[in-house]
Amino acid sequence: MFKVGIIGATGYVGCELLRILINHPSVEVTAISSISFEGEEFSSIYKSFYKMTDLICKNKSDVIEKCEVIFTALPHGLSEDIANECLAANKICIDLGADFRLTREDEYKQWYGKEFFHKELHSKSIYGLPELNRDKIKTCKIIANPGCYPTSIELGLLPLLKNGLIDGKNIICDSKSGVTGAGRGLSQKTHAAQLNGDFAPYAVGSHRHIPEIEEILGTIAKEKINVTFTPHLLPINRGIISTIYTTPKKELMSYKFNSNIDISQKISSDKITYKEIKSDKIDLEEIYKLYCETYKNEPFTHVLPIGETASIKNVAFTNNCHISLHLNHRCDGIIVVSAIDNMIKGAAGQAIQNMNIILGINETEGLNFIAPAF
């Protein structure tokens, strides 16, 4: 059994990590820490853990000393020192914060207001999106677990960008998240009276995930990428759905409609069949085949059949990402819909997936969840 620990265990992400790790067959949660609740039993903070664990929140040094794998579920700016200690002790640090997600210090300073204090560590870390960096993750000891919104968007766009099929200067990402994405701390916007019955965008044009999204998409595409990213807060506990609007590169794709078909009538009646759409080079079925081929060996990323639409309900409480593909018939665009659970594939589950890869155990171990049917 591998010994693992959580620093920042009493936040929502830390709690979700512990919930999954307690039942993981190959690891033992040996120590946890919390500044706010040091000395208290975890089950006294979250009553759902009553009789499920006797772990007591201690300090971070206790976690680093006793564990082989350390998860840091902390606000940005607090994980660099811990990662440095872990590396010095030849231990693995999986950071669920933002400290290692950006490679450029000037970008990190601009968006997070902090500098890299241990600059040498950043060249030794890797961005922990398994579908992109699995081979590099296997040999790394500092993992930057991706952000929740970026995970949904990057998985949604990876096949199109990897194959150079869309214009990287005109990508619109319209994303919605459950309130757990805002963390455990209370704020005016997450107060029940404010949230209930409401639905609104926030951090319009200025969300901190923008540089992460653009950097990783640029790495995939091997060119500079610009996105318009607008997050929205849903009045639900968990889940993210991203609707991504893209424009095919004209030299690679052009769509033509059969002149004998009344497209407007078929769209309004929801009876359009994609086989009735003629394409000079690539049609939706070809794009669908590309996505299926890209993700055929991925245990958690699933492409839905043409005509179906990804939804939060079908991925809730799982480590899955559901992707659906659609055509924008009016302007020959490709619309990608990507759904994940922000607390699992967008945070704790993906971190454990990274741990499994590093430890050389089955990547799906401890993560084979099925979404509740109702």
Active site positions, annotated:
148
Residues paired with residue 93 on neighbouring β-strands, in sequence order = 70, 142
Place of tokens 């969300």: 207
Q: Which residues pair with 120 in a beta bridge?
A: none
Tokens 């640090």 locate to 93
Do 49 and 78 touch, CB atoms closer than 8 A? no
39 φψ region: left (φ > 0), alpha (ψ -120 to 50), beta (else):
left
CB 146 within 8 A of CB 278: no
The answer to whether the beta carbons of residues 29 and 20 sit under 8 Å apart is no
In this structure, the dihedral spanned by the alpha carbons of residues 354, 357, 358 and 360, taken in order and rounded to 10 degrees, is: 150
The DSSP secondary structure of 293-322, one letter per residue, reads HHTTT-SSEEEPPTT----STTTTTSS-EE
Report whether 233 contacts 202 (CB < 8 A). yes
Distance from C-alpha of 90 to C-alpha of 93, rounded to nearest angstrom? 10
Pairing of strands 277-279, 255-257: antiparallel
CA distance 170 to 178: 26
Q: How far apart are CA 84 and CA 130, in angstroms?
A: 23
At residue 142's C-alpha, the angle toward residues 136 and 143, to 5°, is 65
What backbone torsions phi and psi does residue 65 show, to the nearest 5 degrees? -65, -40
d(CA 11, CA 33): 11
